[in-house]
Amino acid sequence: MKAPPFAYVRARSLADALDLLERHNHDGEGAKILAGGQSLMPALNMRLSSPAVLIDISRLQEQAGICVKDGHVHIGALTTHAAIGNSAAIRQHLPLLADAVEHIAHPAIRNAGTFGGSLATADPAAEWPACCVALDAQIVLAGKAGTRTVAARDFFQGLYATAMQPNEIITEVVIPIPAAGTRHAFLELARRRGDYAMVGVAALATFSGGAPRDVRLTFLGAGDKPLSATKTAQVFVNKGISESSLKEAQDTLATELDPAADLYSTAATKLHLARVLTARIMKQLVA
């Protein structure tokens, strides 16, 4: 299939992009933002989206980059997946992202796709949304009236649905640097390397005297948005990590996740895979 007809305009600045959005988005669907295009262009070609205008912000390089300030890592929305993977600051302060980026599609897509674009698309099988929820990220949105900040856990609201208003643009993501000693792990299962995840999990934990504390397990591909399995994580906080607690956590997980079937996996298969990943990732955190 081919994309439906659309007009194209390149924004000269963030203010220009916001002006264009307001001008063309009277009904909320007249314009779409084009950043890296790795999610939008396939959606256009499959006629899943049909905007009248594409507003290209890819050259607004002031919206790209990574910096560390006041105990937080600031990631510009136009920062590419590859730039995150190659960043020494990310590897030092947010190694969960550095591990997750290796699971995102293929090098050509990582070189073009953007951090903000992935979050705005809100694909429930994508890696960045789950990582942002696990890391307590704050997503900064710009509009004509000014900027506002939304916690990642509140930003993702359903299948491809977010708290972002039609005339807003993601400008950056601010992530607190985890406390010293925090352990991380990221795992996912896909039919082939680079395919969309069938199920995945982003995990963080602190340990005291060998016992896990403040465990966070956020799943992707197991619902219509990133899902934090708080009750499952609490099992390990209460009882440590053993064969019996792993079994109890897996049983608890079945009460927290309700995955839907897709073209490749039944709901039961997805839940089974999530249970398998839970045991694997906790053993990895301990190791």
Amino acid at 120: A
Say if CB 190 and CB 81 are below 8 A apart.
no
Q: What is the mean pLDDT of residues 224-232?
A: 98
Q: What is the DSSP string of 115-148?
A: HHHHHHHT-TT-HHHHHHHHTT-EEEEEETTEEE
The distance of Cα 20 from the centroid of its chain, to the nearest Å, equals: 27
Residues of the chain with CATH 3.30.43.10: 7-56
Q: What is the mean pLDDT of residues 118-138?
A: 97
For residues 202 and 42, the model is more confident at 202
For residue 1, what pLDDT band results from cuts at 50, 70 and 90? low
Helices 243-256 and 230-239: angle between axes, nearest 10 degrees: 160
Q: In the sheet that 53-56 helps form, which strands lie side by side, from edge to edge?
A: 7-10, 53-56, 31-34
Residues of the chain with CATH 3.30.465.10: 61-176
Task: Name the CATH code of domain 7-56 (choices 1.20.1250.20, 2.60.40.1180, 3.30.450.90, 3.30.43.10).
Answer: 3.30.43.10
Give the residue among 217, 253, 214 at the shortest CA–CA distance from 245: 253
Neighbours of 106 (CB within 10 A): 10
User: How do residues 32-63 score in pLDDT, each as one tens digit?
Assistant: 899 988 787 777 777 767 788 989 999 999 99
At the topology level of CATH, where does 183-286 sit? Enolase-like; domain 1 (3.30.390)
At the topology level of CATH, where does 61-176 sit? 3.30.465
Q: Which residue(s) pair with 69 in the sheet?
A: 72
Give the containing element (helix H, strand E) for 184: strand 183-189
Write down how long the chain is.
287
In the block, tokens 């640097």 appear at: 177
